[in-house]
Structure 1
Amino acid sequence: MGKTYEIVPDGGVTSPKGFKAGGLHCGLKKTDRHDLGVIYCEVPAAAAAVYTTNLFQAAPLQVTRESLAEEGVLRAVLVNSGNANACTGRQGEDDARAMRSGIAEALGIPKHQVAVASTGVIGELLKMDRVHAGIAKLPERLSADERGSDDFCQAILTTDLVKKTACVRLTVDGREVVIAGAAKGSGMIHPNMATMLGFVTTDAAIPAPLLQELLRESTDVTFNMITVDGDTSTNDMLVAMASGLAGNKPLSRDHADFAAFADGLRYVCEVLAKAIARDGEGATKLIETTVVGAGSDEDARAIAKTIIGSSLVKSAAFGADANWGRIIAAVGRAGVSDIDVNTVDIRLGDISVLEQSRPVAFDEEAALAYLKGDTVAIHVDLNHGSGRAVAWGCDLTYDYVRINAAYRT
C-alpha cells in the first residue's frame, strides 16, 4: 500500500488552516535566543494531550490538565524554555497559572482554553517579571507564515542543536487536510506516554476523544520508542490541536479516510521522534533498532527499547565496534520470557553477525566502515512469532558527559 499523504518539506505548525505562532527572547536564557513562544488558533480547537509518567510532574502539566478538563478545546499553547518550573511548589503552580492568565488576556481568549509548557532547569523559580513582559509582546509576533513557525520552534529549544518540524497533507472528503508538528528534546529523553515537548496542529475536523485515542496510539509507536539517556523528564508533554477548518465531515473510525489521517499523524510523530533521537546531546549518529519475530508487538517493543537504551550498545556504536554480544545481552535482559534462545539472528545493516544464536564470520573492516556512518541499523529476528517494533536512539559520546556535567553552569 502506497503513502496516503504527501510530505510538505517547508511546512510547520502554522501550515494548517487557522493557526499562527510566534516567539521571542524575554530573558530566561542567558543567551539572546528565543525563550518564549506561543501557538494560537483562530477558533476553539479540539485538543488532546499525553504527559510524562514521572511522579514529579512540573506545574505546567497540572495547569494544562485543568484547561483540557473544562471543554477539551484549546485556543493557545504558551511555552517557555530555560526554566522547567518543576519541583517549585505552590509558587510554581501559581506562576504557571499566571502564565495561562497572562496570555489569555493578551489574546482575548478564556484562560481555560490555554495550555502551558515549560522546559529547562529543574528546581528554579521563573523570573515572572520577564515572562509577563514577553507575554505582552507575543500577540504582535504572531504570524501564519513560516516565520511564525520558525520563531516558535526556536523558543522551545534548550540543548537542542536543530529545530524539529514535520508536515504532511492529505485528502479527507475531497478536501485538503494538513497535519504538522514541532518538538524539542535532546537530553533527559526516555518518554513514557509522552514526548519531551511536542506540539501537533491540524485543520481536520475530528472530535477531541478520538484525537486523544489517536495521539496515544501514535505516541506508543513513535515517541515512546526513542531514548537518548534513559531518563524520563518531569516535563514531558505532547499536545495536539485540530481547528476543523479544512471543512471535512468529522472523522470517526468508520470514516473512509480515517486510516489516511491516522497514517499522516503517525508519520509526523515518527519524523519528530527520530529527529529528537538523532539530536541527542553529543550524538554523532542515529541508531535504529528493528525487532521482528517476537511473540507479540509488546514483546518486540520491550526488546527494541532495551537495546536502544543500552549504554554498552550506544558506546559500541560511537566507537564503531561490531560488538554484537552487547546486543544479544540486551535482548536477554529485556524482561521478555517468550524467547527461544536458540533461534536469534542479528544484523548490523546488511552484515550478518549472528544466525540461530551462533556467531557468523564477517568482514570486520566492512563492519567498521558501516558503523562509522551517521546512521546505524540494528536488525534482530527472534524467529519466534509475528511481533515487531522499531526503536530509535543515538550513540553515547564524550560530549554527552561534558554537556551534562555542566548543565546548570
Structure 2
Amino acid sequence: MAVGLGPLSTLHPVPGFELGIASAGIKRPGRKDVVVMRCAEGSSVAGVFTLNAFCAAPVILAKKRVQGPVRYLLTNTGNANAGTGEPGLQDASRTCAALAQLAGVEESTVLPFSTGVIGEPLPVEKIEGALQAALDDLSEKHWAEAAVGIMTTDTLPKGASRQFVHDGVTVTVTGISKGAGMIKPNMATMLGYIATDAKVAQGVLRDLLRDAANKSFNRITIDGDTSTNDCCMLIATGKAALPEITQASGALFAALKQAVFEVCMEVAQAIVRDGEGATKFVTVQVNGGATHQECLDVGYAVAHSPLIKTALFASDPNWGRILAAVGRAGVAQLDVSKIDVFLGEVCIASRGCRAASYTEAQGSAVMAEAEITIRIELGRGSCSETIWTTDLSHEYVKINAEYRT
C-alpha cells in the first residue's frame, strides 16, 4: 500500500548507459529478474555499500572491482547470495565471467548485485541462461523496465529523472531504486542505480555520491534492519559535450550536484512510501541539537520505536511514546524542560510536558493523515536532521512472516 507513490514519471535516457532485462525464473517462471546495465567505455563509476559485517558475496566483489574500469552491472533478484561463504563468491564470479565472455570484456569490469532471500545458493545456471536475452534487450530507454526488474517485495517501481542546461548542453541524471523492507541503509538503499552523461573525475564522483547518499538514502528507515546487500552506484558516462568536472566547485558541478541530490532524495523517499505494509509516510524532524549526531540519535529513536510506529498505524496521538523515545535516545545531559514536540503544526508537548493549548482532537486530526511530520525542538544548539520512516502495520508482519513462502 504505497503512500503517495504513483506511476513512474518520465525517466530520461542517459546517453552512454543502457539497460536490458530478462527472465531467469529464480523465484517463479516468467518473472523478469535479471537486469544487465552497460556503461560506455571510459565511464566513471562510484559506489557506496552496506556496513553490515555479513555483507553478501556480490557486495564483496563489487567493492573491489569498482576501483577499476567498469563496463557492466549485473543484477539478479530473488536470491541475495548472502551468508553463502566461499561458494557464494565463486558463484558471483561465475555469473560475471559468463557475462564478460558474452560481452567480450574483462571479467574484472563486471560488477554483480543480488537481492532476495539470504542464505540460499545462487542459481547460477538460471542466471547464465538469461544473460544473452538481457544483452539483446539493452537500450538507453529501458529505465522503467529495469526499475520493475530489480523489485522484490516492492509494490511499485521507483525512479526519478532530472535535466538541466549548461552552456547550451542538456545534462541528464536518471536513477532507479528498489527496497521496501530490511531498510536502514547505513550507506545507501538496498539497490540503487543513478547515471548521468556528465563527465566527472572519479574522486569527485565518489565524494558526490557519498554526500548525496548521506542526505537521502542514509536518512530513511522502515524497520531498522541494515541489509546484507545494500549498494548504490553512480555512473558518469561523459557523453555530454562539456568539460570534465575535476573539482567540487563551479556552476556545472553545482547544477549536477543539485540534480543528483534531487534524484537520490526522490528515489530514497519512494522506498519509504512503498515500505512493507506502510499506511503512513512519516517525517521526523529534529531541530536545535548541539551536534548533528545527537539529532540523528533522537530521530532514529523515534523512527524505530515499535510503540510509536504502531500508534501511527492506529492514528492514535499517544504523544507520551514520543517523549519516552526522545528521553532514551542517549543524548548526554538532555534538559527535558527545553524540549517542544509538534505533530504537524500542533504543539503537543512544551517544555517537557503536555502543551496547555493541546487537545486530543487536534492530535487525532493530524494522525489521521497519510503524511505526518513529527517535529522535535531540543533547544540545545543549531543543528538539525531529518529522517523519513513509516508506521508498523499488520501487513508488515504478514509480508515478512510469509517472505520465504
| Pair 1:56–1:343, CA change in 2 (3 A) | same
Counterpart for residue 104 of structure 1? 100
Query: 1:214 Cα deviation (Å)?
Result: 1.3
Letter in 2 for 1:280: G
**Alpha-carbon displacement from aligned partner over 1:81-104 (angstroms, at most 9, x marks no partner):** 000001112221111111111222
Counterpart for residue 309 of structure 2? 314
Counterpart for residue 4 of structure 2? none
Question: 1:31-50, aligned counterparts within 5 Å?
Answer: 32-50=30-48
Matching residue within 350, 355, 364 for 1:355: 350
1:135 paired to 2:134: no
Which range moved further: 73-82 or 255-264?
A: 255-264
Counterpart for residue 180 of structure 1? 174
Counterpart for residue 50 of structure 2? 52
Distance 2:158 2:89 in 1: 29
Distance 1:144 1:213 in 2: 26
The 4+ residue runs of structure 1 with deviation greater than 4 A are none
The TM-score normalised by the length of structure 1 is 0.93
Which range moved further: 399-408 or 363-372?
A: 363-372
Counterpart for residue 167 of structure 1? 161
Question: 1:166-315, aligned counterparts within 5 Å?
Answer: 166-251=160-245, 252-315=247-310
| Structure 2, unpaired ranges of 5+ | 1-7
Letter in 2 for 1:265: V
The TM-score normalised by the length of structure 2 is 0.94
Letter in 2 for 1:262: K
| Pair 1:36–1:346, CA change in 2 (3 A) | same
Question: 1:392-407, aligned counterparts within 5 Å?
Answer: 392-407=388-403
Query: 1:402 Cα deviation (Å)?
Result: 0.8
Distance 2:282 2:402 in 1: 26
Distance 2:293 2:257 in 1: 20
**Alpha-carbon displacement from aligned partner over 1:368-399 (angstroms, at most 9, x marks no partner):** 23212211111111122110111001010011
Query: 1:219 Cα deviation (Å)?
Result: 1.2
Distance 2:86 2:251 in 1: 48
1:324 paired to 2:322: no
Query: 1:260 Cα deviation (Å)?
Result: 2.3
Paired residue secondary structure (1:292): strand
**Alpha-carbon displacement from aligned partner over 1:267-299 (angstroms, at most 9, x marks no partner):** 111111111111111111111111111112222
Paired residue secondary structure (2:35): strand
1:368 paired to 2:367: no
> What is the CA RMSD across the aligned residues, in angstroms?
1.6
Which range moved further: 197-206 or 22-31?
A: 22-31
1:334 paired to 2:332: no
Counterpart for residue 5 of structure 1? none
Paired residue secondary structure (1:257): helix
Distance 2:175 2:123 in 1: 28
| Structure 1, unpaired ranges of 5+ | 1-8
Distance 2:262 2:31 in 1: 29
Paired residue secondary structure (2:66): helix
Distance 1:161 1:183 in 2: 13
Query: 1:173 Cα deviation (Å)?
Result: 4.5
Distance 2:333 2:43 in 1: 44
Paired residue secondary structure (1:78): strand
| Pair 1:75–1:338, CA change in 2 (3 A) | farther
**Alpha-carbon displacement from aligned partner over 1:246-268 (angstroms, at most 9, x marks no partner):** 12222212323322222221111
Distance 1:173 1:53 in 2: 40
Letter in 1 for 2:45: A
How many pairs were matched up?
396
Letter in 2 for 1:322: P
Is the CA contact 1:282–1:398 (under 8 Å) kept in the aligned structure 2? Answer: yes
Matching residue within 63, 66, 72 for 2:64: 66
Is the CA contact 1:23–1:154 (under 8 Å) kept in the aligned structure 2? Answer: no
Counterpart for residue 75 of structure 1? 71
Distance 2:306 2:164 in 1: 40
Query: 1:192 Cα deviation (Å)?
Result: 0.9
Which range moved further: 358-367 or 237-246?
A: 358-367
Distance 1:227 1:31 in 2: 32
| Pair 1:362–1:32, CA change in 2 (3 A) | farther
Is the CA contact 1:37–1:79 (under 8 Å) kept in the aligned structure 2? Answer: yes
1:30 paired to 2:22: no
Aligned-residue sequence identity (percent) comes to 37
Distance 2:147 2:249 in 1: 35
Is the CA contact 1:173–1:257 (under 8 Å) kept in the aligned structure 2? Answer: no
Letter in 1 for 2:125: D
Question: 1:10-29, aligned counterparts within 5 Å?
Answer: 10-12=9-11, 15-29=13-27
Paired residue secondary structure (1:43): coil
Query: 1:47 Cα deviation (Å)?
Result: 0.7
Distance 1:374 1:140 in 2: 42
**Alpha-carbon displacement from aligned partner over 1:155-174 (angstroms, at most 9, x marks no partner):** 11111101010111123444
Paired residue secondary structure (2:9): coil
Letter in 1 for 2:85: G
Distance 1:30 1:237 in 2: 24
Letter in 1 for 2:367: L
Is the CA contact 1:342–1:356 (under 8 Å) kept in the aligned structure 2? Answer: yes
Distance 2:302 2:211 in 1: 22
Distance 1:229 1:261 in 2: 32
Distance 1:270 1:184 in 2: 13
